[in-house]
Amino acid sequence: MSKKIILTGDRPTGKLHLGHYVGSLKNRIAMQDEYEQYVLIADQQALTDNFDNPEKVITNVLEVAKDYLAAGLDPAKTTICIQSQLPAIAELTMYYMNLVTMSRLMRNPTVKNEIKQKNFGESTPAGFVNYPISQAADITAFKAEVVPVGEDQKPMIEQTNEIVRSFNRIYGETLVECEAVIPKVGRLCGIDGKAKMSKSLGNGIYISDDSETVKKKVMGMYTDPDHIRVEDPGKVEGNVVFEYLDVFGTDKEKIEEMKDHYKRGGLGDVVTKRYLIEVLEEVLSPIREKRKYYDEHEDEVMAVLKSGTEKARKVTDKTLEDVKNSMGINYFK
Protein backbone atom coordinates (compact mmCIF):
# COMPACT_ATOMS: atom_id res chain seq x y z
CA MET A 1 0.00 0.00 0.00
CA SER A 2 1.35 3.38 -0.91
CA LYS A 3 1.46 6.07 1.73
CA LYS A 4 -0.93 9.00 1.60
CA ILE A 5 0.60 12.29 0.53
CA ILE A 6 0.72 15.31 2.84
CA LEU A 7 1.65 18.83 1.87
CA THR A 8 2.32 21.47 4.51
CA GLY A 9 4.64 24.43 4.73
CA ASP A 10 5.48 27.83 6.08
CA ARG A 11 6.05 31.30 4.77
CA PRO A 12 9.69 32.16 5.50
CA THR A 13 9.03 35.48 7.18
CA GLY A 14 10.69 34.73 10.50
CA LYS A 15 12.01 32.04 12.77
CA LEU A 16 9.53 29.54 14.17
CA HIS A 17 8.13 29.94 17.68
CA LEU A 18 6.47 27.73 20.29
CA GLY A 19 3.09 28.33 18.62
CA HIS A 20 4.43 26.69 15.47
CA TYR A 21 5.96 23.95 17.58
CA VAL A 22 2.67 22.89 19.18
CA GLY A 23 0.43 23.91 16.28
CA SER A 24 2.28 22.31 13.40
CA LEU A 25 5.85 21.06 13.92
CA LYS A 26 5.00 18.39 16.50
CA ASN A 27 2.27 17.08 14.27
CA ARG A 28 4.60 16.90 11.26
CA ILE A 29 7.16 14.97 13.26
CA ALA A 30 4.44 12.52 14.32
CA MET A 31 3.12 12.12 10.76
CA GLN A 32 6.41 11.65 8.93
CA ASP A 33 6.52 7.88 9.44
CA GLU A 34 3.06 7.09 8.19
CA TYR A 35 2.74 9.57 5.35
CA GLU A 36 4.70 10.69 2.36
CA GLN A 37 5.25 14.21 3.62
CA TYR A 38 6.36 17.28 1.70
CA VAL A 39 7.09 20.51 3.54
CA LEU A 40 7.20 23.54 1.30
CA ILE A 41 9.06 26.70 2.26
CA ALA A 42 6.78 29.14 0.48
CA ASP A 43 9.13 31.98 -0.40
CA GLN A 44 7.06 33.12 -3.39
CA GLN A 45 3.98 33.39 -1.23
CA ALA A 46 5.98 35.32 1.38
CA LEU A 47 7.00 37.75 -1.35
CA THR A 48 3.37 38.60 -2.16
CA ASP A 49 3.34 40.87 0.89
CA ASN A 50 7.11 41.31 1.32
CA PHE A 51 8.05 42.04 -2.29
CA ASP A 52 9.89 45.19 -1.22
CA ASN A 53 11.95 43.28 1.36
CA PRO A 54 13.25 40.15 -0.40
CA GLU A 55 16.22 39.98 1.97
CA LYS A 56 13.90 39.11 4.85
CA VAL A 57 12.34 36.25 2.90
CA ILE A 58 15.61 34.88 1.55
CA THR A 59 17.45 34.80 4.89
CA ASN A 60 14.49 33.15 6.60
CA VAL A 61 14.43 30.24 4.14
CA LEU A 62 17.56 28.94 5.83
CA GLU A 63 16.38 29.85 9.34
CA VAL A 64 13.10 27.99 8.91
CA ALA A 65 14.94 24.97 7.47
CA LYS A 66 17.22 24.94 10.53
CA ASP A 67 14.18 25.10 12.81
CA TYR A 68 12.66 22.10 10.99
CA LEU A 69 15.75 19.96 11.32
CA ALA A 70 16.39 21.00 14.92
CA ALA A 71 12.80 20.24 15.94
CA GLY A 72 13.03 16.76 14.47
CA LEU A 73 11.90 16.70 10.85
CA ASP A 74 13.96 13.92 9.31
CA PRO A 75 14.98 14.57 5.71
CA ALA A 76 15.02 10.80 5.11
CA LYS A 77 11.28 10.77 5.76
CA THR A 78 10.11 14.30 5.01
CA THR A 79 10.93 16.14 1.80
CA ILE A 80 11.75 19.78 2.52
CA CYS A 81 11.70 21.97 -0.59
CA ILE A 82 11.71 25.60 -1.74
CA GLN A 83 8.70 26.91 -3.67
CA SER A 84 10.52 29.33 -5.99
CA GLN A 85 12.71 26.51 -7.29
CA LEU A 86 9.70 24.51 -8.45
CA PRO A 87 8.64 26.29 -11.65
CA ALA A 88 5.76 23.86 -12.27
CA ILE A 89 3.87 25.53 -9.40
CA ALA A 90 3.98 28.94 -11.08
CA GLU A 91 2.87 27.41 -14.37
CA LEU A 92 -0.03 25.57 -12.75
CA THR A 93 -1.06 28.83 -11.09
CA MET A 94 -1.30 30.39 -14.54
CA TYR A 95 -3.77 27.76 -15.81
CA TYR A 96 -5.78 27.72 -12.58
CA MET A 97 -6.25 31.50 -12.68
CA ASN A 98 -8.67 31.02 -15.57
CA LEU A 99 -10.86 28.80 -13.40
CA VAL A 100 -11.46 31.34 -10.62
CA THR A 101 -13.47 34.55 -10.88
CA MET A 102 -12.31 37.88 -9.48
CA SER A 103 -15.38 38.09 -7.26
CA ARG A 104 -14.65 34.63 -5.86
CA LEU A 105 -11.12 35.73 -4.98
CA MET A 106 -12.32 38.89 -3.31
CA ARG A 107 -14.85 36.92 -1.27
CA ASN A 108 -12.20 34.73 0.37
CA PRO A 109 -12.65 35.56 4.09
CA THR A 110 -9.00 34.92 5.01
CA VAL A 111 -7.71 37.17 2.24
CA LYS A 112 -10.28 39.85 3.09
CA ASN A 113 -9.14 39.83 6.70
CA GLU A 114 -5.48 39.98 5.81
CA ILE A 115 -6.00 42.87 3.40
CA LYS A 116 -7.60 44.78 6.26
CA GLN A 117 -4.87 43.82 8.75
CA LYS A 118 -2.10 44.84 6.37
CA ASN A 119 -3.83 48.13 5.47
CA PHE A 120 -3.36 47.45 1.76
CA GLY A 121 -6.50 49.39 0.82
CA GLU A 122 -6.46 50.27 -2.86
CA SER A 123 -2.84 49.12 -3.20
CA THR A 124 -3.40 45.39 -2.68
CA PRO A 125 -0.90 43.58 -4.93
CA ALA A 126 -2.58 41.32 -7.50
CA GLY A 127 -0.15 38.60 -6.43
CA PHE A 128 -1.47 38.80 -2.89
CA VAL A 129 -5.15 38.46 -3.86
CA ASN A 130 -4.07 35.58 -6.07
CA TYR A 131 -2.24 33.61 -3.40
CA PRO A 132 -5.11 31.15 -2.76
CA ILE A 133 -4.73 30.07 -6.39
CA SER A 134 -1.01 29.69 -5.97
CA GLN A 135 -1.69 27.66 -2.83
CA ALA A 136 -4.01 25.41 -4.83
CA ALA A 137 -1.09 24.93 -7.22
CA ASP A 138 1.19 24.01 -4.28
CA ILE A 139 -1.21 21.38 -3.01
CA THR A 140 -2.22 19.86 -6.33
CA ALA A 141 1.34 19.87 -7.70
CA PHE A 142 2.15 17.23 -5.10
CA LYS A 143 -1.23 15.48 -5.57
CA ALA A 144 -1.59 15.91 -1.83
CA GLU A 145 -4.57 14.24 -0.20
CA VAL A 146 -4.05 15.55 3.31
CA VAL A 147 -3.30 19.16 4.19
CA PRO A 148 -2.81 20.02 7.88
CA VAL A 149 -3.80 23.66 8.35
CA GLY A 150 -4.88 26.10 10.99
CA GLU A 151 -8.60 26.92 11.23
CA ASP A 152 -8.02 30.22 9.39
CA GLN A 153 -6.72 28.35 6.35
CA LYS A 154 -9.90 26.33 5.72
CA PRO A 155 -11.13 28.67 2.95
CA MET A 156 -7.89 27.91 1.07
CA ILE A 157 -8.70 24.21 0.98
CA GLU A 158 -12.24 24.95 -0.22
CA GLN A 159 -10.81 27.13 -2.98
CA THR A 160 -8.35 24.39 -3.93
CA ASN A 161 -11.04 21.73 -4.23
CA GLU A 162 -13.22 24.06 -6.33
CA ILE A 163 -10.32 24.44 -8.74
CA VAL A 164 -9.73 20.68 -8.79
CA ARG A 165 -13.40 20.00 -9.61
CA SER A 166 -13.51 22.67 -12.33
CA PHE A 167 -10.31 21.42 -13.89
CA ASN A 168 -11.40 17.79 -13.90
CA ARG A 169 -14.84 18.68 -15.31
CA ILE A 170 -13.47 20.78 -18.14
CA TYR A 171 -10.27 18.92 -19.08
CA GLY A 172 -10.87 15.41 -17.73
CA GLU A 173 -10.03 13.64 -14.48
CA THR A 174 -6.48 14.78 -13.63
CA LEU A 175 -6.20 16.40 -10.20
CA VAL A 176 -6.84 15.05 -6.71
CA GLU A 177 -9.11 16.68 -4.12
CA CYS A 178 -7.61 17.18 -0.68
CA GLU A 179 -8.81 17.09 2.85
CA ALA A 180 -7.99 19.72 5.49
CA VAL A 181 -6.87 18.34 8.81
CA ILE A 182 -7.24 20.90 11.58
CA PRO A 183 -5.11 20.17 14.65
CA LYS A 184 -7.02 19.54 17.85
CA VAL A 185 -4.68 21.64 19.97
CA GLY A 186 -5.93 25.15 20.38
CA ARG A 187 -3.85 28.20 19.70
CA LEU A 188 -0.97 28.96 21.97
CA CYS A 189 -1.38 32.46 23.43
CA GLY A 190 1.39 35.04 23.40
CA ILE A 191 3.64 35.82 26.37
CA ASP A 192 1.70 39.09 26.68
CA GLY A 193 -1.59 37.20 27.17
CA LYS A 194 -2.89 38.03 23.69
CA ALA A 195 -4.92 35.23 22.12
CA LYS A 196 -2.22 34.15 19.69
CA MET A 197 1.53 33.90 19.74
CA SER A 198 2.53 35.41 16.44
CA LYS A 199 5.66 36.61 14.69
CA SER A 200 4.12 39.93 13.76
CA LEU A 201 2.84 40.63 17.29
CA GLY A 202 6.33 40.16 18.74
CA ASN A 203 4.95 38.10 21.61
CA GLY A 204 6.68 34.82 20.95
CA ILE A 205 9.25 32.50 22.41
CA TYR A 206 11.29 31.26 19.47
CA ILE A 207 12.55 27.71 19.38
CA SER A 208 15.96 29.18 18.64
CA ASP A 209 15.94 31.52 21.68
CA ASP A 210 18.87 30.95 24.04
CA SER A 211 18.18 30.07 27.67
CA GLU A 212 18.84 33.63 28.88
CA THR A 213 16.21 34.97 26.47
CA VAL A 214 13.68 32.31 27.44
CA LYS A 215 14.26 33.17 31.10
CA LYS A 216 13.74 36.88 30.48
CA LYS A 217 10.59 36.29 28.44
CA VAL A 218 9.07 34.00 31.07
CA MET A 219 9.94 36.41 33.89
CA GLY A 220 8.11 39.15 32.00
CA MET A 221 5.09 36.99 31.23
CA TYR A 222 1.54 38.16 31.74
CA THR A 223 0.00 36.52 34.83
CA ASP A 224 -2.84 37.82 36.98
CA PRO A 225 -2.59 41.60 37.31
CA ASP A 226 -4.62 41.49 40.56
CA HIS A 227 -2.23 39.03 42.18
CA ILE A 228 -0.13 41.68 43.84
CA ARG A 229 1.09 40.14 47.08
CA VAL A 230 2.10 36.50 47.42
CA GLU A 231 -0.71 35.90 49.96
CA ASP A 232 -3.40 37.15 47.54
CA PRO A 233 -5.53 34.51 45.85
CA GLY A 234 -4.59 34.37 42.14
CA LYS A 235 -6.37 33.56 38.88
CA VAL A 236 -5.23 30.61 36.81
CA GLU A 237 -7.44 31.21 33.76
CA GLY A 238 -5.83 33.63 31.35
CA ASN A 239 -2.58 33.35 33.33
CA VAL A 240 0.01 32.65 30.63
CA VAL A 241 2.32 30.77 33.00
CA PHE A 242 -0.36 28.18 33.76
CA GLU A 243 -1.56 28.04 30.15
CA TYR A 244 1.98 27.09 29.10
CA LEU A 245 2.40 24.65 31.98
CA ASP A 246 -0.76 22.89 30.77
CA VAL A 247 0.66 22.61 27.26
CA PHE A 248 4.31 21.80 27.96
CA GLY A 249 4.40 20.33 31.47
CA THR A 250 4.49 16.58 31.97
CA ASP A 251 3.99 16.38 35.75
CA LYS A 252 0.24 17.03 35.68
CA GLU A 253 -0.17 16.29 39.40
CA LYS A 254 2.36 18.91 40.41
CA ILE A 255 0.75 21.43 38.08
CA GLU A 256 -2.72 20.80 39.57
CA GLU A 257 -1.28 21.27 43.07
CA MET A 258 0.38 24.51 42.02
CA LYS A 259 -2.88 25.76 40.55
CA ASP A 260 -4.79 25.02 43.78
CA HIS A 261 -2.10 26.72 45.83
CA TYR A 262 -2.07 29.75 43.52
CA LYS A 263 -5.87 30.08 43.71
CA ARG A 264 -5.79 29.82 47.52
CA GLY A 265 -3.03 32.39 47.77
CA GLY A 266 0.51 32.02 49.04
CA LEU A 267 2.21 31.01 45.81
CA GLY A 268 4.22 33.74 44.15
CA ASP A 269 4.64 34.36 40.42
CA VAL A 270 8.39 34.02 40.70
CA VAL A 271 8.01 30.40 41.84
CA THR A 272 5.56 29.46 39.07
CA LYS A 273 7.73 31.22 36.50
CA ARG A 274 10.89 29.46 37.68
CA TYR A 275 9.12 26.14 37.26
CA LEU A 276 7.91 27.07 33.76
CA ILE A 277 11.48 27.97 32.81
CA GLU A 278 12.53 24.47 33.88
CA VAL A 279 9.71 22.88 31.88
CA LEU A 280 10.46 24.90 28.74
CA GLU A 281 14.18 24.22 29.04
CA GLU A 282 13.43 20.51 28.94
CA VAL A 283 11.58 20.97 25.64
CA LEU A 284 13.91 23.52 24.13
CA SER A 285 17.43 22.53 25.15
CA PRO A 286 17.68 19.43 22.88
CA ILE A 287 16.28 21.51 19.99
CA ARG A 288 18.72 24.31 20.76
CA GLU A 289 21.65 21.89 20.76
CA LYS A 290 20.70 20.51 17.36
CA ARG A 291 20.09 23.97 16.01
CA LYS A 292 23.53 25.08 17.12
CA TYR A 293 24.94 22.19 15.12
CA TYR A 294 23.10 23.35 12.00
CA ASP A 295 24.19 26.96 12.57
CA GLU A 296 27.72 25.66 12.35
CA HIS A 297 26.98 23.38 9.39
CA GLU A 298 24.85 25.49 7.08
CA ASP A 299 26.20 23.59 4.09
CA GLU A 300 24.42 20.47 5.40
CA VAL A 301 21.16 22.39 5.64
CA MET A 302 21.60 23.66 2.09
CA ALA A 303 22.28 20.11 0.90
CA VAL A 304 19.03 18.91 2.50
CA LEU A 305 17.14 21.74 0.79
CA LYS A 306 18.79 21.01 -2.54
CA SER A 307 18.09 17.30 -2.60
CA GLY A 308 14.54 17.80 -1.25
CA THR A 309 13.86 20.40 -3.90
CA GLU A 310 15.23 18.14 -6.64
CA LYS A 311 12.92 15.34 -5.56
CA ALA A 312 9.96 17.74 -5.37
CA ARG A 313 10.84 19.06 -8.79
CA LYS A 314 10.34 15.62 -10.35
CA VAL A 315 6.97 15.18 -8.65
CA THR A 316 5.67 18.64 -9.55
CA ASP A 317 6.99 18.51 -13.13
CA LYS A 318 5.10 15.24 -13.61
CA THR A 319 1.86 16.88 -12.41
CA LEU A 320 2.40 19.80 -14.78
CA GLU A 321 2.92 17.36 -17.64
CA ASP A 322 -0.36 15.57 -16.74
CA VAL A 323 -2.16 18.91 -16.60
CA LYS A 324 -0.83 20.06 -19.97
CA ASN A 325 -1.62 16.71 -21.54
CA SER A 326 -5.20 16.88 -20.25
CA MET A 327 -5.52 20.39 -21.67
CA GLY A 328 -3.93 19.33 -24.96
CA ILE A 329 -1.03 21.76 -24.56
CA ASN A 330 1.73 19.47 -25.76
CA TYR A 331 2.51 20.67 -29.28
CA PHE A 332 5.81 18.91 -29.83
CA LYS A 333 4.95 15.52 -28.45
* Measured distance CA(49)–CA(179) in Å, rounded: 27
DSSP code per residue over 123-164? G--HHHHTHHHHHHHHHHHTT-SEEE--GGGHHHHHHHHHHH
What DSSP character marks residue 24?
A: I
Is 196 a residue of the active site? yes
Position of minimal CB gap to ligand ATP: 23
Select 131 or 171, whichever has its Cβ closest to ligand ATP.
Answer: 131
Spot the catalytic one: 199, 235, 290, 311: 199
Supply the minimum distance, in Å, between the C-beta of residue 26 and ligand ATP: 10
Select 23 or 155, whichever has its Cβ closest to ligand ATP.
Answer: 23
DSSP code per residue over 182-247? --SS-PPPPTTS-SS--GGGT---BTT--HHHHHHHHHT----TT--STTS----TT-HHHHHHHH
Select 240 or 301, whichever has its Cβ closest to ligand ATP.
Answer: 240
Supply the minimum distance, in Å, between the C-beta of residue 131 and ligand ATP: 13
* Measured distance CA(189)–CA(14) in Å, rounded: 18
Is 66 a residue of the active site? no
Spot the catalytic one: 4, 56, 112, 196: 196
Contact indicator for 205, 18 with CB cutoff of 8 Å = yes
Give me the residues that bind ligand ATP (CB under 6 A), please.
10-11, 13, 19-20, 22-24, 149-150, 153, 187-188, 196-200
What DSSP character marks residue 249?
A: -
Supply the minimum distance, in Å, between the C-beta of residue 196 and ligand ATP: 5
Select 72 or 268, whichever has its Cβ closest to ligand ATP.
Answer: 72
Supply the minimum distance, in Å, between the C-beta of residue 312 and ligand ATP: 20
Is 118 a residue of the active site? yes
Catalytic residues: 118, 196, 199
